[in-house]
Amino acid sequence: MTTSPAPGAPPVLSAQALTKTYGSGQSRFEALRGVSLDVRRGESLAIVGKSGSGKSTLMHLLALLDRPTAGAVEIDGEDAASAPVKRINRLRNERFGFVFQQFFLTAQQSVLENVTLPLLVAGVAPRERTHRGMAVLESLGLADKAKNKANDLSGGQKQRVVIARALINEPDVIFADEPTGNLDTATGGQVEDLLFGLQRERGITLVVVTHDDDLAARCDRRVTIADGLIVEGAGR
Amino acid sequence: MRTADVITNATRNAFRSKLRTTLTVLSLFVGAFTLTLTTALGAGVNDYVTKQVATISTGDVLIVTPAASTDTTEGPDAYDPDGRQQSAQANPLGAGTLLNDDDLDAMRDMDGVDRVEPVRQIAVDWVAPSGGADDERYELDVNPTSSIGRSDLVAGDQLDQEADEAQIVLPEDYLDALGFADAESAIGEKVELGYTDAAQADQAIEAEVVGVARTSLLAAGAGVNQSLTDTIAEAQAIPGQPDAYVVAVATLAGTGDDGAVTASDVDDVKAQLADADLAGQTVEDQLGVIQTVINGIIGVLSAFSVIALLAASFGIVNTLLMSVQERTREIGLMKAMGMSNGKVFSLFSLEAVVIGFLGSAIGALAAIGLGSAISTALSAGPLADLPGLTILLFDPVNVVVVILVIMLVAFLSGVLPARRAARQDPIDSLRYE
């Protein structure tokens, strides 16, 4: 039951004529050369392309992890690329969740501490952090692992912890960078099921960067990036 | 991120690599330990000198000597039959020139001077219990400055300089010899003092014991009041010799609350003395030199511990740089989750402060423990002759200042690594292998 966006509502993410250039002079490299893209609320979008195509750069710009050289990124119609740093930090903290190929779990900390990291950053009180952390772990069937060290989990469990961490602040958009890249086919499949289940059931918008065709095929829409341009499926 | 969370996390992070943190804490420990000891040494010695100054000064007296000659005319001075006499022998307290009665009168006329008494050297041959036999006589030194100061009393009262009765403050170590059970029982008892007058005849005088004094570095011997001094000095004065004194003591009348002598009172009288070709110094003036020397020595010792701290601070920089390096991805992740540069900076600089606190607190505690033991051992052994001296005095304020200074040093050492962490680009950090 996908929550359909209200008619006329602005797309949750909108990129307009994004360019991103690294370096200067001889070593100047254009990672993106004018990409425009709308991401509608509640949809799942796959960004595919070969490595070096600029798909990761596009995701970083959409996720406000980086600022474009030119062009604009709008969140719900609000220009974010030129917003002050503080505002961008808050947007990332409250609206986005991140799932990376490498899990980026802090090995010595407990599963619960890893999961509640976004709440720690947001300044939520310890009691509420524990409460919400346990709720999320419960919903992903990881409640019994809460006290375990993150290092003691299997790959699939780790990626579920990462998804729990991405979910804890109830984000609008989850950015997943090669979410199954480090997992075997069976575990990867379970993680995919989990992500698409969240998209369907909670209406969370999913932006997946991958070069896995099977994963891309499960998304509502796919855009293909090559040499810093969208070559297929811009959708607008 | 809440401030409380920043502190908790910084503390936990400091203990993530226990061996590395322990080694850094140890290097700070050395600096904190030494610095605590040197400041304690300075405080102990200065405290002792201050106490000693207090024992010989009531704060309202000036020690007056003739001013050093400032005559710049060439050739020898013309003889003035009414002028001051020259001393036959050098005296460490004054110049070669002696004070005469005219000088004393001039001082008595000055504004703000209450009393003027010349310091007279008197020689007492023996002291004995009242009515004691010949074999109960003991030699006794009389402290010539006892009229200007107070004694560090074990029991009894200070001397009454204006009393008509002869009074004496006995040193503590005379109690046994004179047959007193303890200090309290000696108060109010009489002792007999023997001296030789100008005609070489043996004389004796009774004096009341008003106080018993601790042995002091700067005020050795018994203290006697003005009445007793005058009696003996007159008997010992060579007949026909004009009165001349090495030093005189001017007691000031204060203008402050309850007749307290203020700094400006002292300055006024000093100025008047200078006009009369005399020089006045408070006891504090004379002992200020000693304290300056002590502070200089302590300063040099402290400089060595500061060098140790400097070395330790590089240790902190190194430790934290490694810590930042190891946690690159974690920093990137937290920044991706919206943690501000400022919070990342505080997280790492606080980690440095935690290390600094650990090193300094443990170092200071160890210094206090070991120092107190050494101090006690020294007081019982080699320094037993200086009662009242605590060679290492751990003033809580000093210890807290040392700890705070080291925490500040740690914070400053943490600035470079913390800035590096704060400035990391989240994307680069997440790509970092």
Under an 8 A CB cutoff, do B339 and A89 touch? yes
Please report, for chain B, the start and end positions of each structural domain, with discontinuous segments joined by +: 3-54+289-431, 60-281
Under an 8 A CB cutoff, do A86 and B330 touch? no
Closest-CA residue of chain B to A113? B9
Q: Is the Cβ of A162 closer than 8 Å to some Cβ of chain B?
A: no
Shortest CA gap B427–chain A (Å): 7
Nearest partner of B355 among B384, B318, B389, B327, judged by Cα: B318
Under an 8 A CB cutoff, do A106 and B5 touch? no
Coarse DSSP helix, strand, coil percentages of chain A, rounded to the nearest 5 percent: 40, 25, 35
Residue from A104, A108, A168, A175 whose CB has the most chain B CBs within 10 Å, to mutate: A104
Higher-pLDDT residue of B125 and A6 is: B125
* Predicted confidence (pLDDT) at residue B237 exceeds the cutoff of 90: no
Under an 8 A CB cutoff, do A123 and B339 touch? no
Average pLDDT, stretch B328-351?
91
Give B358-397 pLDDT, tens digit per residue.
999 999 999 999 999 988 888 887 777 777 777 888 889 9
Nearest partner of B311 among B415, B407, B409, B401, judged by Cα: B409
Shortest CA gap B337–chain A (Å): 5
What is the predicted pLDDT for the residue at B149?
A: 65
Under an 8 A CB cutoff, do A65 and B427 touch? yes
Residue from A56, A65, A109, A130 whose CB has the most chain B CBs within 10 Å, to mutate: A65
Question: Which residue ranges in chain A fall short of pLDDT 50?
Answer: 1-3, 236
Contact residues, chain B, for A92 at CB < 8 Å = 336-338
What is the predicted pLDDT for the residue at A1?
A: 42
Higher-pLDDT residue of B150 and B298 is: B298
Q: Is the Cβ of A125 closer than 8 Å to some Cβ of chain B?
A: yes
Give B246-302 pLDDT, tens digit per residue.
778 887 777 666 667 777 888 888 888 888 888 888 777 777 777 788 888 888 888
Residue A118 CA to residue B1 CA, distance in Å, equals 9
Token pair, residue B267, equals: 């300055």
* Predicted confidence (pLDDT) at residue B104 exceeds the cutoff of 50: yes
Q: Is the Cβ of B15 closer than 8 Å to some Cβ of chain A?
A: no
Give B295-325 pLDDT, tens digit per residue.
888 888 888 888 888 888 898 899 899 989 9
Considering only CB atoms, A89 lies closest to which of B9, B329, B340, namely B340
Contact residues, chain B, for A118 at CB < 8 Å = 337-338
Residue from A120, A128, A165 whose CB has the most chain B CBs within 10 Å, to mutate: A120
What is the predicted pLDDT for the residue at A236?
A: 46
What is the predicted pLDDT for the residue at B356?
A: 93
Contact residues, chain A, for B9 at CB < 8 Å = 120
What is the predicted pLDDT for the residue at B59?
A: 67
Q: Is the Cβ of A67 closer than 8 Å to some Cβ of chain B?
A: no
* Predicted confidence (pLDDT) at residue B345 exceeds the cutoff of 90: yes
Whether B219 contacts B151, CB under 8 Å? yes
Closest-CA residue of chain B to A60? B427
Give B388-421 pLDDT, tens digit per residue.
777 888 889 989 999 999 999 999 999 999 999 9
What is the predicted pLDDT for the residue at B90?
A: 52
Average pLDDT, stretch B209-223?
76
Contact residues, chain A, for B329 at CB < 8 Å = 102, 104
Average pLDDT taken over every residue of chain B? 82
What is the predicted pLDDT for the residue at B346?
A: 93
Contact residues, chain A, for B342 at CB < 8 Å = none
DSSP assignment string, A58-80:
HHHHHTTSS--SEEEEEETTEE-
Considering only CB atoms, B337 lies closest to which of A85, A106, A117, namely A117
The CB-side HSE value for B41 (13 A sphere, CA atoms) comes to 19
Contact residues, chain A, for B343 at CB < 8 Å = 121
What is the predicted pLDDT for the residue at B421?
A: 92
Under an 8 A CB cutoff, do B338 and A65 touch? no
Contact residues, chain B, for A93 at CB < 8 Å = 337-339
Give A146-163 pLDDT, tens digit per residue.
898 988 888 888 888 998
Measured in residues, chain A has a length of 236
Q: Is the Cβ of B326 closer than 8 Å to some Cβ of chain A?
A: no
Token pair, residue B345, equals: 């900076």
Hey, what domains does chain A have and what are their CATH numbers?
Answer: 13-232 (3.40.50.300)
Q: What is the ipTM of this complex?
A: 0.88
Q: Is the Cβ of A107 closer than 8 Å to some Cβ of chain B?
A: no
Average pLDDT, stretch B131-140?
81
Higher-pLDDT residue of A129 and B1 is: A129
Contact residues, chain A, for B332 at CB < 8 Å = 104
Under an 8 A CB cutoff, do B338 and A92 touch? yes
Residue B275 CA to residue A15 CA, distance in Å, equals 92
Q: Classify strands B278-281 and B61-66 as parallel, antiparallel or unpaired.
A: antiparallel
Closest-CA residue of chain B to A56? B427
Closest-CA residue of chain B to A89? B338
Q: Is the Cβ of B430 closer than 8 Å to some Cβ of chain A?
A: yes
What is the predicted pLDDT for the residue at B138?
A: 86
Under an 8 A CB cutoff, do B427 and A122 touch? no
Under an 8 A CB cutoff, do B337 and A108 touch? no
Considering only CB atoms, A121 lies closest to which of B16, B339, B427, namely B339
What is the predicted pLDDT for the residue at B259?
A: 65
Determine phi and psi for B96, rounding to 5 degrees: -70, -20
Under an 8 A CB cutoff, do B334 and A121 touch? yes
Residue A216 CA to residue B329 CA, distance in Å, equals 27
Contact residues, chain B, for A209 at CB < 8 Å = none
Under 8 Å CB pairs connecting chains A and B tally to 56
Burial B173-187 (b: 16+ CB within 10 A, else e): ebbeebebeebeebb
Contact residues, chain B, for A63 at CB < 8 Å = 336
What is the predicted pLDDT for the residue at B88?
A: 57
Q: Is the Cβ of A65 closer than 8 Å to some Cβ of chain B?
A: yes
Considering only CB atoms, A117 lies closest to which of B332, B334, B340, namely B334
